[in-house]
C-alpha cells in the first residue's frame, strides 16, 4: 500500500518536469541584459525629434494621460554602445535619461500586431536635425505605436483631431501591410531550345517592391524593379546574351526584427527595430540556336577582296564623370550619378558602363536596365551619336558593419571606344537602429 503514493508522487514529478520543458520550448527568446544609455539630449549630436505642443493624450479607458505623457517622438538610446532610435511602449512611466541595465528581448513577428508595430517603427523613425515635418512624423509614429500596443485609445488618442487622423491613417497602413508575413519567391521559366528569352516570375506580399539582378552568367532583365500585384505576383523578361546558364537574384524588404526593452529600474520601456532583407534566386539554361548548313564567316568583320581585314580607325575617347555624397549612413540608399558624353565627331558603338560595387556595399537598383557581372553593375547604352550624352543613377546600400571610406569606380567602354574611368569616394558612418519613442515628463 505504501508504494502507491510514492509511485503517484513520481509520476506527478515527471509530469511537472515535462510541462516545464514544454513551457521553455514554447516561450519566446530569453531576455538579454544590456546597458541602456540615453543619448537624445536636445543639444547633443543625436537629439530626440518630438512634438510637445499637443495638449492631451488619452488612455484606453478615456482618462487623461497628460501627465505623465508630455511629448511624443523618437527616443535615442544606446544598448551596449550600439545606437538605436526607439519609441516608447509605456505611457504611464517616465524615461530614465541616464544609464541603466535593461532586459532586451526580440519580439516574435508571428502576429499582425507585432508586425504592425515593426512597420511603424521602421517607417516612422527620423534622424538628423529636427524640422517641423520630422517632428510631426516622429510624433505620429510614436502615438501609432502606443495605439497598436494598447497604451492609448485608438479612437481619438489625443486632443488634436487633425493629428488623430494622421495617426489613424498610419495605423491602418501598418495593419494592412502586416496582414500577412513578408515573403519572396522566384522562378525562371525553362526556355525553349534556341530561345534567347524567358519569363521571370516573382511571388510575394502584394505591394512589395522587389529588386531583380542578374547574379551569374550573361543576360539582361527588362526591369530592375517590379512591384508585386494584387494577385501576389509580378513578372519580368530575362534575355540571355548567348548559350549558357543565367542566374537571377531577387531582394525585398522583410518584416524586420523587433526588440522590446524593459529597464530593470522599472522606468519607461521602449521598442526598436532593425530592417531585414528577403532574398531568392533561380536559374535558367539557354541553348544555342540551330545554324544553317553552308554558312561561314564572322558577321561584322570587314574584309578586303583579297580576304584580309581593313585597317581599324582609332578608338574614341568619351568623357565620363561620376558623383556621390561625401558622407552617408550604412543601411541607407546611396545614389551614384554617372554621365557619359561623346565629344568626338564619330558615333560610339555598343557603349557599356561598368560600375564596380565596392566591398561591403550591395547593388539595389538603377535608372536603366542593368545586370550584375563579376562584381560590377553593367548598363548597356548602345550607340552614342556625336555630342550625345547619357546619365544613369545607380543606388547602392552599405551593410551595417561598413565603416570609413569606400571608393566607387565606373568605367565606360565600347566597340570603338577606349576605356575611361571615373571615381567617387563616400565615407560611411553607423546608422541608429530603428526605434520610436515617447518621452514622458
Q: Which residues of 337-373 are buried (b: 16+ CB within 10 A; e: fewer)?
A: ebbbbbebeeebeebbbbbbbbebbebbbbeebbbbb
Residues 220 and 157 in one domain: no
The C-alpha atoms of residue 11 and residue 2 are separated, in whole angstroms, by 15
> Of 69 and 428, which is predicted with more confidence?
428
Domain stop point among 201, 234, 253: 253
Same domain, 213 and 331: no
Q: Would you state the pLDDT for residue 292?
A: 42
Task: Note whether residue 67 is domain-resident.
Answer: yes
Share of the chain above pLDDT 90, in %: 56
Q: 310 falls in which pLDDT band (50, 70, 90)?
A: very low
Residue numbers of the domain that contains 379: 319-415
Which of 124, 145, 179 lies at the terminal end of a domain, its last residue? 179
Radius of gyration for the chain, computed over Cα atoms and rounded to the nearest angstrom: 29
The sheet with strand 327-329 has its strands ordered as: 327-329, 417-429, 404-414, 348-356, 376-384, 371-373
CA atoms 55, 268, 36, 148: torsion sign: negative
264 grid coordinates: 530593470
Asked if residue 307 has pLDDT above 50, the reply is no
Q: Say if residue 126 is in the same domain as residue 201.
A: no
169 with 38, same domain: the answer is yes
Q: What count of other Cβ atoms lies within 10 Å of the Cβ of residue 1?
A: 4
What is the C-alpha to C-alpha distance for residues 39 and 76, in angstroms, rounded to an integer? 5
Residues 142 and 198 in one domain: no
DSSP conformation class of 257: E
297 assigned to some structural domain? no
219 and 103 assigned to the same domain: no
What one-character DSSP code corresponds to residue 434? E
Residues 175 and 36 in one domain: yes
Mean pLDDT, residues 209-222 taken together: 90
Average of pLDDT values for 193-218?
90
Q: What CATH number does residue 242 fall under?
A: 2.60.40.10
For residues 81 and 150, state if they share a domain: yes
Q: How confident is the model at residue 432 (pLDDT cuts 50, 70, 90)?
A: low
Q: How far apart are CA 22 and CA 14, in angstroms?
A: 12
Main-chain phi, psi angles of 14, to 5 degrees: -65, -40
330 vs 295, higher pLDDT? 330
Q: Are strands 197-204 and 270-274 parallel, antiparallel or unpaired?
A: unpaired
Distance in angstroms (rounded) separating the CA atoms of residues 432 and 85: 6
Domain membership of residue 59 (yes or no) is yes
**What pLDDT was estimated at residue 282?**
93
Q: Which residue has the higher pLDDT, 39 or 309?
A: 39
Last residue of a domain, one of 158, 179, 200: 179
Phi/psi for 281 (5° steps) reads -145, 155
Domains of the chain: total: 3
Contact 250, 19 (CB under 8 A): no
- Are 167 and 193 in the same domain? no
* DSSP state letter for 12: H
Say if pTM beats, i.e. exceeds, 0.85. no
Is residue 168 domain-shared with residue 191, that is, in the same domain? Answer: no
302 falls within a domain: no
Residue 326 lies inside a defined structural domain of this protein: yes
164/103 same-domain check: yes
Q: Where are the beta strands (DSSP E) in 80-224?
A: 82-88, 99-107, 184-188, 197-204, 209-216, 219-221
Residue 194 and residue 153 share a domain: no
Please state the length of the chain.
441
Confidence of residue 431 (pLDDT cuts 50, 70, 90): low
Residue 380 lies in a domain: yes
Mean local confidence (pLDDT), 299-322: 61
pLDDT grade, residue 10 (50/70/90)? low
Question: What would the pLDDT profile of 104-138 be if each residue is shown by its tens digit?
Answer: 999 999 999 999 999 999 988 888 889 999 999 99
Residue 2 has pLDDT above 60, yes or no: no
User: What is the pLDDT, as a whole number, of residue 20?
Assistant: 43
Amino acid at each position: 500500500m505504501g508504494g502507491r503514493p510514492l509511485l503517484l508522487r513520481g509520476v506527478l514529478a515527471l509530469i511537472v518536469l515535462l510541462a516545464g520543458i514544454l513551457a521553455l520550448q514554447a516561450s519566446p527568446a530569453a531576455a538579454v541584459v544590456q546597458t541602456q544609455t540615453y543619448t537624445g539630449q536636445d543639444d547633443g549630436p543625436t537629439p530626440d525629434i518630438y512634438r510637445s505642443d499637443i495638449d492631451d493624450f488619452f488612455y484606453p479607458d478615456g482618462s487623461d494621460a497628460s501627465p505623465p505623457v508630455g511629448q511624443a517622438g523618437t527616443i535615442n538610446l544606446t544598448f551596449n554602445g550600439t545606437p538605436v532610435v526607439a519609441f516608447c511602449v509605456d505611457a504611464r512611466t517616465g524615461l530614465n535619461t541616464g544609464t541603466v541595465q535593461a532586459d532586451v528581448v526580440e519580439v516574435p513577428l508571428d502576429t499582425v500586431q507585432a508586425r504592425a508595430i515593426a512597420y511603424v517603427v521602421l517607417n516612422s523613425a527620423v534622424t538628423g536635425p529636427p524640422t517641423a515635418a520630422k517632428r510631426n512624423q516622429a510624433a505620429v509614429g510614436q502615438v501609432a505605436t502606443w495605439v497598436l500596443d494598447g497604451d492609448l485609445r485608438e479612437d481619438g488618442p489625443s486632443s488634436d483631431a487633425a493629428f488623430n487622423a494622421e495617426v489613424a491613417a498610419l495605423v491602418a497602413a501598418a495593419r494592412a501591410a502586416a496582414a500577412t508575413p513578408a515573403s519572396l519567391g522566384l522562378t525562371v521559366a525553362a526556355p525553349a531550345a534556341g530561345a534567347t528569352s524567358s519569363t521571370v516570375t516573382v511571388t510575394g506580399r502584394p505591394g512589395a517592391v522587389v529588386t531583380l539582378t542578374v547574379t551569374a552568367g550573361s543576360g539582361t532583365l527588362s526591369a530592375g524593379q517590379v512591384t508585386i500585384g494584387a494577385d501576389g505576383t509580378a513578372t519580368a523578361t530575362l534575355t540571355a546574351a548567348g548559350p549558357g546558364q543565367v542566374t537571377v537574384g531577387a531582394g525585398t524588404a522583410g518584416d524586420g526584427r523587433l526588440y522590446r526593452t524593459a529597464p530593470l529600474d522599472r522606468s519607461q520601456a521602449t521598442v526598436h527595430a532593425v530592417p531585414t532583407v528577403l532574398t531568392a534566386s533561380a536559374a535558367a539554361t539557354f541553348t544555342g540556336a540551330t545554324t544553317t548548313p553552308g554558312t561561314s564567316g564572322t558577321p561584322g568583320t570587314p574584309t578586303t577582296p583579297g580576304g584580309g581585314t581593313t585597317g581599324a580607325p582609332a578608338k574614341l575617347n568619351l568623357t565620363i564623370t561620376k558623383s556621390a555624397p561625401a558622407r552617408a549612413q550604412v543601411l541607407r540608399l546611396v545614389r551614384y550619378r554617372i554621365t557619359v558624353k561623346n565629344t568626338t565627331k564619330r558615333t560610339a558603338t555598343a557603349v557599356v558602363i561598368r560600375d564596380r560595387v565596392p566591398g561591403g556595399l550591395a547593388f539595389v537598383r538603377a535608372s536603366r536596365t542593368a545586370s550584375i557581372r563579376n562584381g560590377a553593375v553593367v548598363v548597356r547604352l548602345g550607340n552614342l551619336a556625336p555630342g550625345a550624352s547619357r546619365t544613369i543613377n545607380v543606388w547602392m546600400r552599405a551593410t551595417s558593419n561598413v565603416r570609413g571610406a569606400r571608393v566607387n569606380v565606373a568605367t565606360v567602354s565600347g566597340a570603338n571606344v577606349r576605356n575611361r574611368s571615373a571615381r567617387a569616394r563616400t565615407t560611411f558612418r553607423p546608422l541608429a537602429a530603428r526605434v520610436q519613442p515617447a518621452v514622458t515628463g
